[in-house]
Structure 1
Amino acid sequence: MEARRAPDAPEWRDPKRYLWLLALAVPTLPLQAGALVAVTGQGAWWWWGPVFAFVLLPVLDHVTGEDGENPPEAVMKRLESDRYYRWCTYLYLPLQYGALIWACTRWAGGALSVGEGTGLAATTGVVAGVAINTAHELGHKRDRSERQLSRITLAQSGYGHFYVEHNHGHHIRVATPEDPASSRLGESFWRFLPRAVAGSLRSAWHLESRRLQRRGRRTWSRHNQILTAWSLTVVLFAALTTTFGPAVLPYLLLQAVLGFCLLETVNYLEHYGLLRERLADGRYERVSPRHSWNSNHTVSNLFLFQLQRHSDHHANPLRRYQTLRHFEESPQLPSGYATMIVVAWCPPLWRRIMDPRLEQHYGDLRKAHVRPAENASGTKAAPRA
């Protein structure tokens, strides 16, 4: 397993060091939408969040292309310990919640039509979805304060159980039939979505119940990390509803649903059809860069704290985003997440693009993670690839 090496340079400096701050433009999307409406007088700009994420970013990805270079091994330790990169993620939170409170003032003001309010909810939902990615970056770290910030970040989307399931379920069972967050060849996103949402919730509850039982504690108690995470959402939504009135609650719920659906779309594309081999002792082979789809598209990586270098993340979960590496053996997405999310929402287009890449990766689709399907006789059969 060999990473692509950047030229060794003792004085190497991260050429994207200050570009990581671009990620902080995402939590301000509602404010950007309001500014665009004020300047143009056009209420359609309340939908700026989806336009930014699924139109502008794909164009920028196409224009700027890919960056597959890795930091030299000699600077990895210094790069990991540089607290500047941590503050880039920490600052997401005050901007995220400042924008959410501001959005509530717009929803409560009564000046927005239903369509405009829904557009602002969609824009705020993009913030919530990307916030789950920020929580993902923070939640993998050993620092207790970062893990606590991760739970706070998840409150906006009501997806606090992600912290438990992702760290203790998904990372262990990734690219296996036991993982609800690993999509299968032939499985559309719309079939995957309810399976992933329900399966991840069940898995998180089982994992947390087992953890508490091992420690001699009751499942329904203040020690339950899922219950405490959900309570943050309840307190947040109750406080906002009390402060701004019940008119904001439908929009808060809508943006939360859109946020976690955006997360599950990313889950869908990250491991589509990839399967770890089961060994003779019944266990699965160790997770490697071959078990995650990767993307080096520069702009999407900047806005997502390099989530698209997902192969190295699964091989080395504690590695911070600025040191994630590209591996030649990782299967590569044809574009960045901003583009592939939209493609995933159109199953025929997704399969036309991704199934040949999966076949090229394995050489034989029978080695892939195939969606079970019933044939006429009732026995399990693989769908046509």
Structure 2
Amino acid sequence: MDTAVSSWRDSKRPLWPLALAVPALPFAALLLATATGSPWAWWLTPVFILGAIPIIDLLVGDDRANPPDEAVPALQASPYYRWITYLFLPAQYAALVVTCAAWTADPGIIGGIGLVLTAGLVNGIAINTAHELGHKRETVERWLSKIALAPTGYGHFFVEHNRGHHVRVATPEDPASSRLGESFWRFWPRTVLGSLRSAWHLESSRHRLRSRSRWHPRNDILNAWAMTVALFTALALTFGPTVLLFLAAQAVVGFSVLEAVNYLEHYGLRRQRNAAGRYEKVDPRHSWNSNRLTTNVFLFQLQRHSDHHANPLRRYQTLRSFDVSPQLPAGYATMLLLALMPPLWRRVMDKRVLAHYGGDPAQANAVPGYHARRPDL
């Protein structure tokens, strides 16, 4: 083995457990609420995730280092990294119980909104953990992925993301790939409804090919949704039926966080058709990337999205940065906020999409009539 490779160490190894700080935030908020009696304490989680992390991201900067190829097998096999993703789940569920208990204590309007955002952000970010686990071949990790999805009721993501989005990514046919000139608020209903329809079609087709009813217990959507029903029923029996309103509201926030991330990951990017009329193979040019170290640690390197699409079975600790990948101007936490403000988003991102395609919007995945509507771009 090469000496340089044998001496290589993952410099981010001690940082990965910081991802568990996300489900720990509601407990810090509980301590603050108990100490101060202020309902504003329940805003700690959204303020930290959407306020502090973008600032830390800017101060810490980028990390472009990639592991050497020879080190990847050992990194892939190390149980240390996968146990961090496993531990996220009990922390996620404990945080949900804490926020449900706080909801039943009547925190008022200010505290209630903070609680919904708190639980929604934690469970929305947990969808990223489900994403990491759901791509693996190991049965236990695939089931853990569904468990992580249960609090948001988004179990169909397990089917649509793996078998739909990864096939159609960066094409007009993909409901999870946003289009140049499309605001997040127009993208949201298209992707939520489109992904649900696509997942049901994919799973129904799978069972039809096996000569089974789509209502079979092995339907991955139905058993994932059954987990949500069981979870919400247990929480309603524990905390009373009023908690169901809270659970529904935080679920909408949670899966909206996921869809906001989907929005920024492939905005305007398009795979071209080859001479045979088929879409070209997915490559690093078809995903927006970010090397911001802080958000990459908190999101298990989701921002190295190009490598993930090229190699879905690669575990997060082995994902690489590519120079040819289009780069976001900031990390996901910052870009998520920008996506909620369409005029600012388009001012920042449209010119980057057009630059990626040499100024030709016809090569981009654009809304119909984009060039005619925005001739100044």
- The TM-score bracket by the shorter chain reads over 0.9
Aligned residue pairs: how many?
Answer: 373
How many angstroms apart in 2 are the aligned matches of 1:122 and 1:42?
16
Quick check: 1:371–1:383 contact (8 Å CA) kept in 2?
Answer: no
Match of residue 51 from structure 2: 55
Three-state SS of the structure 1 residue aligned to 2:6 is coil
Aligned amino acid, residue 279 of structure 2: Y
How many angstroms apart in 2 are the aligned matches of 1:192 and 1:351?
14
Match of residue 137 from structure 2: 142
Of residues 216, 225, 229, the one that matches 1:221 is 216
Three-state SS of the structure 1 residue aligned to 2:312 is coil
Of residues 329, 336, 341, the one that matches 1:346 is 341
Match of residue 282 from structure 1: 277
How many angstroms apart in 2 are the aligned matches of 1:19 and 1:161?
31
Q: Give the Å deviation of 1:115.
A: 2.3
How many angstroms apart in 2 are the aligned matches of 1:157 and 1:122?
13
Match of residue 69 from structure 2: 73
How many angstroms apart in 1 are the aligned matches of 2:30 and 2:374?
47
How many angstroms apart in 1 are the aligned matches of 2:271 and 2:314?
22
Of residues 78, 83, 95, the one that matches 1:82 is 78
- CA deviations on 1:249-285 (whole Å, 9 max, x unpaired) are 1111111000000000000000000000011222100
- Cα RMSD for the two superposed structures: 1.4
TM-score by length of 1: 0.94
Match of residue 105 from structure 1: 101
Match of residue 173 from structure 2: 178
Match of residue 7 from structure 2: 11
Of residues 188, 196, 212, the one that matches 2:191 is 196
Do structure 1's residue 366 and structure 2's residue 374 form an aligned pair? no
How many angstroms apart in 1 are the aligned matches of 2:33 and 2:115?
11
How many angstroms apart in 1 are the aligned matches of 2:254 and 2:364?
29
Q: Give the Å deviation of 1:9.
A: 3.4
Three-state SS of the structure 2 residue aligned to 1:38 is helix
Aligned amino acid, residue 127 of structure 1: V
Match of residue 29 from structure 1: 25
Of residues 135, 147, 150, the one that matches 1:152 is 147
User: Gapped runs of 5+ residues in structure 2?
Assistant: none
- CA deviations on 1:152-188 (whole Å, 9 max, x unpaired) are 1000000000000000000000000110000000000
Aligned amino acid, residue 353 of structure 1: V
How many angstroms apart in 2 are the aligned matches of 1:295 and 1:108?
40
Aligned amino acid, residue 117 of structure 2: A
* Structure 1 stretches of 4+ moved >3 Å: 380-385
Aligned amino acid, residue 143 of structure 1: E
How many angstroms apart in 2 are the aligned matches of 1:271 and 1:333?
11
Identity of aligned residues (%): 60
Of residues 157, 164, 174, the one that matches 2:159 is 164
Do structure 1's residue 258 and structure 2's residue 253 form an aligned pair? yes
User: Gapped runs of 5+ residues in structure 1?
Assistant: 1-6, 375-379
Aligned amino acid, residue 85 of structure 1: Y
Of residues 291, 294, 317, the one that matches 2:312 is 317
Aligned amino acid, residue 184 of structure 2: F
How many angstroms apart in 1 are the aligned matches of 2:313 and 2:70?
18
TM-score by length of 2: 0.96
